[in-house]
Chains A and B, each alone.
Chain A
């Protein structure tokens, strides 16, 4: 499995999770903390996030994810972080229980 394929799959999962309300942007930033973002996002992307927030007057999780799209999240952030986000959402949804329970 190449890194590109895994990256595309995580991007698709993040996108689908957001579209289907499996998790919200705030859930994403609960795992992709400012420290994580600052450590992994490239400078130009950090600059763009700050520029968009300044233009809008506030920095919200939704606005961050408008700039840092799922593709960029999957490209720059560790996939373990994204997976924790997905797994936590699944746990909240209760799908990680057995069939009989």
Chain B
């Protein structure tokens, strides 16, 4: 059995006869310096739970202070703050060896790592995947309008369109786009609207007769459709005897039936028939 000439206790006492810690320090430090490993590789094994169990409280205070002062807390800050010698001093050798073994296996396995950056840079940033600031836009599902021919001149909106040609935009009624104005006839002329002004016309006063002069307020109004410019023509027949006054004619308007040739007059029957 090979004991390396180090006696019976030799290899069983970790860090005793052999300087395992020195070997770990040199191995991990050189791996970090050479870009073989990144601090994340160390923290993958020397987890915060491991640190909480094995790292002395003064070093924990240093770590907390450094993390509070650093703009970003990452493995680089922790490894640099604690230091590889301190890690190798307090962390169990089996954990450190697991870290070294992973680095070595990866090195031999040809796993492509992030290329080592310039000296003095932080390799941890190169190995950490950078999330996208914004997710990629979803595939367009909206039907696209037909391709417009290339405009050779100024864009003239189609009749009835708002002029912008964008179907996605909500069409706003003109009445809501501008402050409604109830005055100014120019607005009506400029709008091009076929509708006539909706000004409420005062209905003409009904013919006032002497008999019905005092009843105009009691005339029942006929509800009509909203015709714009027509005057409300109303015929009112008042009380029981007022029709006589309404149909009163002058003497000049009367027809002399007796002098008319076309009229056959004869006897009293004719007058009755008529």
Contacts and interface: CB of A to CB of B under 8 A. Distances in A.
Interface in A11-58: 12-13, 15-17, 19-24, 26-27, 30
Contacts of A26: 4
B64 interface: no
A25 B246 CA distance: 143
Interface in B71-101: 92-98, 100-101
Given A93-B18, A94-B12, A95-B93, A24 B30 contact: no
A20 B94 contact: no
Nearest to A27: B4
Contact of A8 (B6, B30, B104, B112): B30
B61 interface: no
B112 A1 contact: yes
A20 B14 CA distance: 12
B11 A92 contact: yes
B30 A13 contact: yes
A17 B27 CA distance: 9
A76 interface: no
B23 A83 contact: no
Contact of B27 (A13, A21, A98): A13
Contact of A23 (B4, B12, B22): B4
A10 B31 CA distance: 9
A95 B97 contact: yes
Contacts of A83: 104, 108
Contacts of A15: 26
Interface size class of A (residues with CB under 8 A): 35 or more
Contacts, number: 103
Interface of A is mostly: helix
A32 B108 CA distance: 17
B20 A95 contact: yes
A80 B108 CA distance: 7
B14 A93 contact: yes
B4 A24 contact: yes
A65 to B, nearest CB: 15
A20 B30 contact: no
A12 B94 contact: no
A19 B23 CA distance: 8
Interface string B12-28: 10100111101100110
Contacts of B98: 96
Contact of A20 (B2, B23, B113): B23
Contacts of A8: 30, 34
Contacts of A92: 2-4, 11
Contact of A5 (B12, B14, B22, B116): B116
B239 interface: no
A79 B110 CA distance: 11
B124 interface: no
A79 B98 CA distance: 18
A96 B102 CA distance: 12
7 contacts: A2-B116, A6-B107, A12-B30, A90-B97, A94-B14, A96-B94, A99-B95
Closest 5 CB pairs of A and B: A20-B19, A16-B26, A95-B97, A12-B30, A95-B93
Given A9-B34, A16-B27, 7 more contacts: A9-B107, A13-B26, A22-B20, A27-B4, A94-B14, A98-B94, A99-B94
